[in-house]
Structure 1
Amino acid sequence: MNIDLVNNKASINDLVSLKKETPVTNLQPSSPNNTFGDDGVLAANLKKINNSGSNPFGSPPNTSSDKSLKEGVVKKAYQSFAELDSNRNGFLSNKELINKMHDPNVKSEKAAVVATLLTNETKIRNLSNDEKTIESSGISKNDLIALDKIEGQGSLKEKVESNYYNALYKASSAKSYFDSDGKLILPKKASEISFSHINQGGAGDCYFLAALASQAQRNPQKILDMIKDNKDGTYDIKFSDKTVKVKAPTETEIGLYGDGAGWMSLIEKAYAVYRNDGALLKKDNPYDKSGGGSVVIGRGIKELTGNSFETNLLKATNKNSTRSKLIDAEKNNKLMTASISKHIVSKSEFNLPDGHVYTIMGYDSQTDKVKIRNPWGHTEAENDLGIARDGSDDGVFEVSIDEFYKAFSMVAYEKK
């Protein structure tokens, strides 16, 4: 073994031997320029090891090829591994995948692969025991091989495949959001904005998108006024108390999160940044910070309009009072949302998702029915056969005021 501590020279094999044979206490730097890592190895050489792509102190590198893998998303992920593994350490970390998510050059199938791996990263990385301690470094090739071997209906592999094709469909559809020069196409007039453009994806921001759909229905010009094209690839999005600058959403972001129109995906991306910037504990992925609004269901109303809101617990509110407030809100173009909480409603009526916020589209005093929209853009009140009661599963449905009280927990009204 030949190690020159003064000139920072040593081979990787020497360092491995040094790691195994020499107590850390016997290593003393001979000059101020020689610094050691936590394991007593020269930090400069640790950096060389990391950059070389080898992993002498961890698990042995996987030497399998992709020939044994079945056709599908797992094989595509395996084949893309080297490109996605930015630091060449043999693991796809959450941060590496997030960086790829923000990359506008990641498109189509590769965008869908990144979206799928991000969605399932925690579960996939635990499939093979290839780390010395907890499985925290990310997804390895061993994990992908283990995933490929899983079979059965309802399995993780089936879910991963479903996530992939859903993300691929959305990423492919997103191509229509951009012109031939790759510039995001934005509405030029209010009539080009519709609540039907709002389809929630993987972010838990139903409370915001429900309010945004209400704004699109009642005051589309205000949405148009939120967006400023800076003509340099960035956009300023104005919320009630702050303006956020963002780039256009990437195909991976659209594959993972909301879709339906370019303006909708742009505003949702800006909202994620808006929430993350205002948080004490920030997330590497801003979209992870935009969830959790179902407790304060009117939050999105305030952040969009700057106006306060009134929240009513339906169990504690007279039906005639609710009727009057619904009529007043519709007459004065006030935003309205409603939530379903399993802690308040004993069981889910009509198979509607709970822990979720919906848009109140209106109230018809003649029929005594409330018109609702699910921000998912699908999944609505069903009949006994599990089919949408109105025959069209577009997320828009009507319930009587009595059914509304059975199914929903709270209502939020904008105050003007």
Structure 2
Amino acid sequence: MQNDFTSHSLNTSLSINLTASNQTFAGSLGRRNPDDCYSFSLSGSSSLSLSLDSLSANADLQLLDGNGSTIAGSHNRHNTDESLGITVGAGTYYIQVSRVGSANTSYNLKAFKNEAPQSLQFNTYKGSYEAGETVNLTNTRVFDPNGANDLARVDFWLQKDGSNWQDISDAVQFTVDNADSRYGSFTYSLNSLSSGIYQLQAKAYDKLGNSTQSTQTTFKVGAASDWFDQNIQDEVIRSATRSRFGDGLLDRNDMVSILRESKDGNVVDATELADIRTLIGNTSYIKISEHVRVLSNKVANNDTANQKYQGNSLGNLVAGSSDVQLENLINKWFYGSDRPQTSYTYQYASGSLFQNGVSYEDIKQGGMNDCYFLAGLASTASRTLNTIESMFIDNGDNTFTIRFWRNGVADYVTVDRYLPTDTSGAFVYASKGSHYSNGGNELWVAFAEKAYAQLNESGWIYQNNTNTYEGIGKGGYMSDAFAQITGKKAALGKAIDCNSIINAFNSGQLVGFGSKTNGVAANIVAGHAYSLVGYDASTQKFTLFNPWGMNTNASKPGIIEVSWSEVQSNFSYWDTTV
């Protein structure tokens, strides 16, 4: 307790030093000293607690500013205790204790201060971040004159791109500085921020609710550096690809659009070509439908068939290629516009891909010698329908992408709905005789044959490497067709052996017979491919299908049943998958 004193004016006030601990100042009021004054100074915002007790008569308590103006007061009646609680800023202040009435009284003035935290500092670790990157604060520090243990929280607010401020989580754990217990530090981070310019603002509060001034910092969150930033140089291609890859897959329409973006003005430059090849070649991150990747590769890289387009010179895509060349390559591979050359007239074929499912009986050979290929289709259709069904992709725009196999690796070619017809409008090749306008046409065989003719130009199906029907119409081996249609390995020209043939067929392999070139029975076509579609162990008869088709030639029927001796007499070899 401080000693009693007498002070009548501000000029003669007693200077005291308020602390965070409650102090008591004893005094008395009478006729000669109706007022006592105490002065003190604050270096920063502080909460004051003032009280007056032990009164025997009425006295008032007031807080004055440095000019002597009243800030607050307590004016209870009689000898009731007085009290004040107030927060004020830095400056000089006076406490005035005043007698009310004529009675003398002693008193105890009790006072303490709780200074507000006076400084808050923090920074972001860096000024710019990628989207989704954690933003950690560094150099965090709060000064509280009452000690870091008096700190309650740091209240954070966040604003993005000038929008409304958002109240976000507070920092509430503080580490006291070993060198000076008035300082405390804290950890704080922000997560999952999207792209934008951010303002981060905060105040530190003590346990009585006093706070520092606001502290603020600015930082930027940009788009994250992704695969496209790291691997695609051309901005237009990068933007188009990133946008279209939003669903995690590049489909046919996506890739055609991206390919068409691969030119500045009228030319495909080296950067654009490199970007497209990078995109197509990446299989670990970029997901592209298999057939789309294969066709895109034919456009952007090399294929023997690229040398011609609709009978004219074209060439592989290179740096400096024109936009016209690029568009022709797209049309060739994605839209089937490079139809096989023929002397007949192309007409738009009505009908559907399949009618009542797949059957080898759908096959009807036309006016060229491609029985080896059609027999391959027939054998496949008779044993594994799903292989035929999965060959075809309906693109939804009257084009169909058709799968073949090259040494066990899928290859693709696209055809449109146009098929060669004679002057009467009838198909001249597969499905010969059907009119192009017939809505009941089943088109899968004719489309497969057309695709095979187009694929011939790529130079690997063992024909004459031209995009013509004639190019696949000079005979061939069923074993090649088996492998190219199914992806399985196949054996060529095996010597006729009954048990081997039966075992192969019963194990699910495709089997085809090659008839002798002369000396065959009247109901068998010489030098022709037949599909083995059945074997009856009880009768020991083999059922063979003639690709000329059902009910087309009475003397050379579509189905024949032959004994083993007839097989030996009329057929010189057999091909099979293995």
TM-score (norm 1): 0.48
> Which structure exhibits the higher relative contact order, with contacts defined as CA atoms closer than 8 Å and separated by 6 or more residues?
1
Give the structure-2-normalised TM-score: 0.35
Higher helix share: 1
